Chains A and B, each alone.
Chain A
Amino acid sequence: MPAEIVILGGGVGGALTANLLAKKLPAGSARIRVVDATGQHLYQPGFLYIALDQANAGWLSRDLRSLLPENVEIIIDKVAKIDTSSRKVNLELGGALNYDYLVIATGSRPNYEGVSGLKEGAYSFYSLTEAERLREALRTFKGGTLVIGVAGMPYKCPPAPVEFAFLVEEYLRKKGVRDKTTIKFLSPLNRAFTIESASALVAPMFAKRGIELNTFVNIDTVDPSNHEVHTLEDEVYSYDLAVLVPPHSGADALLTSGITDSAGWLPTDPKTLRVEEQEDVFAIGDATNLPISKSGSTAHFEAPVIVEQIAAAVEGRVPHPKRSRYGGKVTCFLETGNHQATILVFDYDNPPKPPRPSVVWHGAKWGFNRAYWFTVPKGRGV
């Protein structure tokens, strides 16, 4: 009997895991099924460029079928419940999938309801619709106070609000309204960014570009009618345009299945990526509770670790000791505007040492953007 492998989610983690398993496992040894709510794979880092009028939406989406080999089945449906005791996934449209190995790649989603007034009073770039809405607002923006902030942690792609600040500053300069605009960056921490070495790089660049850094600003509510952000620190920031990263949540079905922590993230072993207290259940990408970036890059480096463990189990061998352990590796570009970028490479034990921003890293980022569809989800070069 072939092993039943079920992968929940067709984003970076899900698509890449499916591709790597299909390549690695001997023909006929496993049946691989991917459950995805839409059957579309989105390149989410592109939302930022949509908001800033640097790209079109057509570039960001592909049919999941086009990214997976024929021997991987795709089921377009939503997960209703996971029953780990009977090794079964119930689907919303009906039916259930039995599994021997389960990979949960359900990601994270923006939760606009998590902060009162956020949806009505602020813009964001965490979905295609939101990015397009922000693009229209920026096109007609004539100056005033632009507030950029984070309305809840953790959130997807930690450098994104910092990148947005740099890129929108350049955008407004080119549009001729920079001198009529005050840019305020609101950070929940006592620095610009979660990682100290990156903050040390970013803070003086903010100062040089006239981006006002406000620290320990944790957004409590947004008042859409008075255009104000109210904070847990009892401060009020008035704005003409607010761009706020929404709080994020895990998939609802995981929470109702009783396998997450109270915040909706899966308690995950940091090395093996197995969901704690569950047998043969793995978590990848944003769905985990790991204290690292929620980003496609994380999932990219996690996938081979899960694949090695499942392949070893299916083939009845001992997993490779190194290839079956995740060391926390993440690689993120950080756009700093003016056609420059830096890169953050780090793992559980080693913080990043970002190089001085340059056109080289900006070029590398755009090269990556263009190569994405041919490489990452298909597992080329992994």
Chain B
Amino acid sequence: MGVEATKEIDARGSFCPGPLMEMIRGIREANVGDTVAVLSKDPGSRTDIPAWIEKAKHELVAVEDEAGYTRFVARKAR
């Protein structure tokens, strides 16, 4: 595991749009400045999650490829 996160959400058992919804829920519940990490096995997350973070004006801190899944880390910016 690379970048540390305030909250880690394992969405590997969830299909599209589950991981994106987990990221949205995580950011919604986080405090400004916190980082939220979501683990996803869903290939759609690679486009969905960064696109949502950009639109919602938060910060994508890291996209880390792990064995069989991807870890997305975002910082709540506002």
- Taking Cβ atoms with an 8 Å cutoff, the residues of A that contact B are 153, 188-190, 194, 196, 216, 218, 220, 232-234, 291
Contacts and interface: CB of A to CB of B under 8 A. Distances in A.
Given A216-B56, A232-B56, 10 more contacts: A153-B21, A188-B17, A189-B20, A216-B55, A218-B24, A232-B24, A233-B52, A233-B57, A291-B13, A291-B15
Given A232-B27, A234-B57, A216 B52 contact: yes
A190 B56 contact: no
B66 interface: no
Interface in B12-59: 13-18, 20-21, 24, 27-28, 47-48, 51-52, 55-57
Nearest to B18: A291
Given A188-B24, A190-B51, A216-B51, A291 B14 contact: yes
Say whether chain B's binding surface is mostly helix, strand, loop, or mixed: helix
Nearest to B14: A291
A379 B56 CA distance: 47
B24 to A, nearest CB: 5
A214 to B, nearest CB: 11
Interface residues of B, number: 19
Nearest to A233: B56
B5 to A, nearest CB: 18
Q: Which of A188, A216, A234 has the most CB of B within 10 A?
A: A216
B78 A234 contact: yes
Contacts of A196: 16
Nearest to B48: A190
Contacts of B78: 234
Contacts, number: 38
B17 A194 contact: yes
Nearest to B24: A218
A232 B17 contact: no
Contact of A189 (B15, B48, B56, B57): B48
A234 B28 CA distance: 12
Contacts of B27: 232
Contacts of B13: 291
A232 B28 contact: yes
B20 to A, nearest CB: 7
A189 B15 CA distance: 14
A190 B16 CA distance: 12
Contacts of B18: 291
Contacts of A232: 24, 27-28, 56
28 contacts: A153-B17, A153-B21, A188-B17, A188-B21, A189-B17, A189-B20, A189-B48, A190-B47, A190-B48, A190-B51, A194-B16, A194-B17, A216-B52, A216-B55, A216-B56, A218-B24, A218-B28, A220-B28, A232-B24, A232-B27, A232-B28, A233-B52, A233-B55, A233-B57, A234-B57, A291-B13, A291-B14, A291-B15
A153 B17 CA distance: 10
9 smallest beta-carbon distances between A and B, as pairs: A233-B56, A291-B15, A216-B55, A233-B55, A189-B17, A153-B21, A291-B14, A216-B52, A218-B24
A291 B13 CA distance: 9
Contacts of A234: 56-57, 78
A233 B51 CA distance: 11
Contacts of A216: 51-52, 55-56
B38 to A, nearest CB: 15
A81 B18 CA distance: 29
Contacts of A190: 47-48, 51-52
Contacts of B48: 189-190
